[in-house]
């Protein structure tokens, strides 16, 4: 079955990703395995998400002669939304070792579901970087919208958002607020429950990553 589509959203469809997302959802998956899966899925998604990165020509001296090669032409910044976004950094950095890493601290108030901001630090000048905002969960969209607002206020102009599981309400809210930011997801789920959790989802990503519950 082809992945569901929605304007602004790309669901990255690959057997390895589908396999690993199923393991991630499983309530029996340990915190250690959960961490590894989040990292691996983020790495697999990176191949597709970076497809449009600009390269520039370089000369490479092989052991035999000089030839032409290419290198990534843009500074890249990964910006995990704390806490759960941290789990996606390592897998991507393994593929893009020169990437700089910023941090946006936000948590969702359990009663109001509104994002509460507590930390912001990203590479400067922001306008020089291609930003990849990272968070496993796009639920109501409040956290991702607030994070993108903060990034834009800091001067970022070129932003993509990589999440693992997206809910319809979150995608609709995020793309309405930030139509210029493409959203990539590994899975597009059915709905939110009354507490704002994604169904079928995978539970609380931060707690499962860090073993806090």
Look at the alpha carbons of 45, 50, 52, 57 in this order and tell me if their dihedral is positive or negative. negative
Q: Which does 83 bind (CB under 5 to 8 A by kind): ligand PRP, ligand URA, none?
A: ligand PRP
Q: Minimum distance from CB of 58 to ligand PRP (Å)?
A: 38
Question: Does residue number 164 form part of the binding site for ligand PRP (CB under 6 A)?
Answer: no
Q: Which residue out of 55, 67, 112, 212 is catalytically annotated?
A: 112
Question: Does residue number 137 form part of the binding site for ligand URA (CB under 6 A)?
Answer: yes
Q: Which is nearest to 201 in space by CA: 170, 161, 177?
A: 170
Give the residues across from 110 on adjacent strands: none
Question: Does residue number 137 form part of the binding site for ligand PRP (CB under 6 A)?
Answer: yes
**Is residue 135 flagged as an active site residue?**
no
**Is residue 204 flagged as an active site residue?**
yes
Question: Does residue number 198 form part of the binding site for ligand URA (CB under 6 A)?
Answer: yes
Question: Does residue number 77 form part of the binding site for ligand PRP (CB under 6 A)?
Answer: no
| φ, ψ dihedrals at 129, nearest 5° | -110, 150
Report the distance separating Cα 201 and Cα 189, nearest Å.
7
For tokens 């899975």, what's the residue?
Answer: 187
H or E element, residue 95: helix 86-95
Residues forming contacts to ligand URA in the complex (CB under 6 A) are 137, 139, 196-198, 201, 204-206
């Amino acid at each position: 079955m082809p992945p569901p589509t929605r304007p602004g959203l790309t669901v990255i469809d690959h057997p390895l990703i589908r396999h690993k997302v199923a393991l991630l959802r499983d309530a029996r998956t340990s915190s250690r395995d959960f961490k590894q899966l989040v990292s691996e899925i983020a790495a697999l998604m990176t191949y597709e998400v970076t497809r449009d990165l600009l390269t520039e020509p370089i000369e490479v001296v092989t052991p035999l002669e000089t030839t032409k090669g290419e290198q990534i032409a843009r500074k890249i910044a990964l910006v995990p939304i704390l806490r759960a976004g941290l789990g996606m950094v390592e897998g991507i950095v393994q593929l893009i070792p020169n990437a700089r890493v910023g941090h946006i601290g936000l948590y969702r108030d359990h009663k109001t579901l509104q994002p509460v901001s507590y930390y912001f630090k990203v590479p400067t000048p922001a306008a020089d970087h291609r930003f990849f905002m990272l968070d496993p969960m796009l639920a109501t969209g409040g956290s991702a919208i607030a994070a993108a607002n903060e990034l834009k206020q800091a001067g970022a102009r070129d932003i993509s958002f990589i999440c693992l599981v997206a809910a319809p309400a979150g995608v609709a809210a995020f793309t309405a607020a930030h139509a210029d930011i493409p959203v990539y997801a590994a899975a597009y789920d059915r709905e939110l429950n009354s507490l704002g959790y994604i169904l079928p989802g995978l539970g609380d990503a931060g707690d499962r990553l860090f073993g806090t519950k």
